[in-house]
């Protein structure tokens, strides 16, 4: 099956916890701290693979988590770093943050890599917190949580040329004639339910990738029919071949068909309406209707597009189309991939240091990536570590902020998944 959309959850590995340990050796009365650091969590990395052409695998597996870092140990031994999780996606996959729609990456080149969720850094062991006034600290850091987010994947096939046109215009027959693609062909609308790709040889070491886009109909840009599901696959093409039923075998007017399809392209994305286009006037083997309509097509569009009379069923005129397409592609620049507007914001980058609000039950809720990170990395069971957290909160201005907000003795203050009782 062909799937070109998916929504998945990704999480970088948490950092390993730093260790609280003291050096205890015979004849060493004042050994001091000896706790090692935690290892860094692994990243979730997407890699473009041109051997893939569908997002079907993400239909069954939707959660991807990298390995967490190992915990620090005594004797000042650091924990190992977590392994990165490599996730292969088809070349042409666009990755967006599900919640905001923000572009994260556009993977178009085979082997292109991008970190989607970064692993957390390892917590520091207590050896880092020794000082002249505290030579045996019982303070260490827990590992930093890895980034986590839901992302939407959208596949846009990478093809040089796109075949567009109404259902039964002959696009599938066209691509089967000029390439090794074997699409399903039948004499009824919407035979083609998924895009088909074929490599076309134009001789002299020239070739290009051709995509057969399932038939568009009027209203496709608004979601009518099947074509709207696949219009995105025309966005990367450099040239469009507009296949039209010149004989009008379906009872439609070929001149009006061209106008309708071009209007749908413009409504979907105005840039597509500006894309270079040639018209393949198909079914020329059916006369005299085809000859009469070809003259009308030339009269209506001859000054705007190159028009080639062809018959996909017999092969008539196809060689001339392919040669002209190859010539045009040598002149046309490649479509540049989308670029993120700004560098991706990491999970714990502070945007405003904190926010204070009341929960429905009347207790206090403090939010903010920076403060939530500090709490998550604190050993709350260790008195010295909690004292250090309190100093950090005071320096951040959180303590005064709660007082100004009206917090009272005995109130519950929630930060992330933790609850604290407020005391003066």
Numbered residues of the known binding site:
165-172, 190-194, 212-215, 282-285, 311-313
User: CA 268, CA 278: separation in Å to the nearest integer?
Assistant: 19
Other CB atoms within 10 A of residue 303 CB: 7
Rg (CA), the chain: 31
Distance CA 281, CA 302 (A): 12
DSSP letter string over 32-85? Answer: -B-PPPPPPPPPEEEEEETT----THHHH--EEEPPPPPPPBTTTBPPPPPPPE
The HSE-up count of residue 181 (CA atoms within 13 Å, CB side) is 25
How far apart are alpha carbons 421 and 414 in whole angstroms? Answer: 9
Residue linked to tokens 């390892």: 122
CA nearest to 257, candidates 194, 167, 161, 191: 167
Contact 315, 282 (CB under 8 A): no
Q: What's the DSSP call for residue 166?
A: S
Residue of 22, 298, 57 lying closest to 136 (CA atoms): 22
**CA dihedral angle for residue 26, residue 27, residue 31, residue 36, rounded to 10 degrees:** -40
Residue 132 exposed, middle or buried by CB count within 10 Å (0-12, 13-18, 19+): exposed
Binding residues for GTP: 165-172, 190-194, 212-215, 282-285, 311-313
Annotated binding site for Mg(2+): 172, 192
Coil vs helix vs strand at 200: strand
- Is residue 178 within 8 A of residue 282, CB to CB? The reply is no
**Residues in the chain, overall count:** 424
Residues 169, 174: Cα–Cα separation, whole Å: 9
Closest alpha carbon to 254 in 223, 289, 219: 289
Rounded to 5 degrees, what are φ and ψ at 61?
A: -120, 120
Tokens of 395: 């320096």
The strand ranges marked E within 260-392 are: 277-282, 306-309, 355-358, 364-367
């Amino acid at each position: 099956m062909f799937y070109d959309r998916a929504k998945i959850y990704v999480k970088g590995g948490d950092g390993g916890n730093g260790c609280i340990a003291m050096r205890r050796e015979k004849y060493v009365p004042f050994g001091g701290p000896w706790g090692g650091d935690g290892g860094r969590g692994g990243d979730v990395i997407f890699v473009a693979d041109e051997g893939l052409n569908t997002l079907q695998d993400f239909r069954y597996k939707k959660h991807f988590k990298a390995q967490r870092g190992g915990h620090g140990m005594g004797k000042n031994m650091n924990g190992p770093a977590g392994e990165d999780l490599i996730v292969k996606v088809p070349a042409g996959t666009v990755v967006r943050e599900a919640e905001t729609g923000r572009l994260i990456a556009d993977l178009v080149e085979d082997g292109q890599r991008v970190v989607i969720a970064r692993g957390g850094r390892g917590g520091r062991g207590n050896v880092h917190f020794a000082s002249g006034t505290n030579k045996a600290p019982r303070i260490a850091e827990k590992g930093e949580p890895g980034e986590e987010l839901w992302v939407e994947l959208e596949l846009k096939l990478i093809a040089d040329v796109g075949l567009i046109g109404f259902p039964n215009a002959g696009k599938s027959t066209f691509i089967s004639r000029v390439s090794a693609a074997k699409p399903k062909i039948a004499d009824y609308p919407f035979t083609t339910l998924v895009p088909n790709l074929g490599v076309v040889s134009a001789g002299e070491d020239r070739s290009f990738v051709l995509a057969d886009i399932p038939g568009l109909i009027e209203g496709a840009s608004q979601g009518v029919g099947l074509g709207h599901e696949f219009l995105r696959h025309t966005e990367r093409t450099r040239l469009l071949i507009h296949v039209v039923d010149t004989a009008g075998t379906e009872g439609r007017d070929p001149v009006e068909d061209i106008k309708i399809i071009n209007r749908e392209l413009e409504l979907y994305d105005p840039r597509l309406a500006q894309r270079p286009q040639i018209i393949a006037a198909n079914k020329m083997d059916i006369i005299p209707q085809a000859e009469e309509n070809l003259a009308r097509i030339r009269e209506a569009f001859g000054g705007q597009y190159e028009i080639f009379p062809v018959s996909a069923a017999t092969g008539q005129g196809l060689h001339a189309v392919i040669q002209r397409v190859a010539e045009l592609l040598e002149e046309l620049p490649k479509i540049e991939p989308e670029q993120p507007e700004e560098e991706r914001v990491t999970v714990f980058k502070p945007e405003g240091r904190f926010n204070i609000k009341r929960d429905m039950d009347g207790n206090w809720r403090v939010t903010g990536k920076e403060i939530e990170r500090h709490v998550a990395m604190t050993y709350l069971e260790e008195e010295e570590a909690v004292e250090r957290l309190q100093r950090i909160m005071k320096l951040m201005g959180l303590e005064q902020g709660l007082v100004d907000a009206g917090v009272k003795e005995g109130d519950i203050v929630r930060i992330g998944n933790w609850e604290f009782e407020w005391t003066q």
